[in-house]
Homo-oligomer: A and B are copies of this chain.
């Protein structure tokens, strides 16, 4: 059973909207080696796990799988922010709906030029469950052979490939919003890579110096280096509310990444940062609640809840 808190697992740095960067990040969300994939793969591997004696391995899978749900939330929110920007708010135009033939710029015409037109046409400037080339996420991505060694080997390759692709995305954009999340995920992918490599070490494999994959360069990225200096690549949270996880029996000892750190699985979860709700986008005809609708609700609320102590739409923590 799963629970949640209204926080993001890591902070997102503010910067300009950037639809092209948003589209590149979709690979990290809905791509074959993105966060939806890792989340679902580890969830299925946990559900179908066999052999009570292997509980530490099951718990490792389940803990990482739980973290991936928060990664889906983090990168999805990052994409939505990168897409967020419109004439009404940016002051480029006063009238959001142009008059044909009068030379006005059409409000959503940027959708025709970069990235995935579905971000504007279908998703109202929000994240989509697709990859950077627009392919919908597919259940056929999930690998769960039932053989523990193979599943661990696949997961190690999966995390390394995810990290490889994120290093490439880092090189595609210098937008700070994009890079703050990409850098965080590069480091966490390495932590998960360490987890599966260590699990295979307990079964007798010696990785020599091939880890991490890619072996070089990522630490030259300043945002990544900052997190590596904090040791975030050698830490795994349990995300277990009752302390039942035995993942720490595996995730301990020297890191297989050859960086001299010790693996640590003693924390339950990071502190996170408060999540907020984005503003309306009237040009998408998709406000959360547009002025007319809000007035309508208030009127309804006045009627229906005249005697309620707690008004329906009092100022919320997001207002």
Contact = CB atoms under 8 A, between A and B. Distances in A.
A240 B4 contact: yes
Interface string A102-138: 0010111101111111101111111111111111111
Given A2-B239, A43-B73, 11 more contacts: A3-B66, A5-B244, A6-B62, A50-B124, A53-B319, A121-B168, A130-B133, A153-B160, A202-B304, A214-B285, A215-B293
Contacts of A109: 171-173
Interface string A243-270: 0111001100100000000000000111
Given A112-B114, A121-B24, A316-B246, A272 B1 contact: yes
25 contacts: A1-B8, A2-B69, A5-B240, A6-B244, A21-B112, A27-B122, A47-B80, A49-B288, A50-B287, A51-B289, A52-B276, A52-B279, A52-B318, A100-B174, A118-B133, A134-B134, A150-B213, A153-B156, A153-B157, A164-B286, A202-B312, A203-B293, A215-B290, A217-B282, A217-B285
A73 B47 contact: yes
Contacts of A8: 1
Interface size bracket, A side: 35 or more
Given A121-B24, A135-B136, A145-B124, A204 B300 contact: yes
Given A24-B111, A43-B73, A171-B97, A277 B50 contact: yes
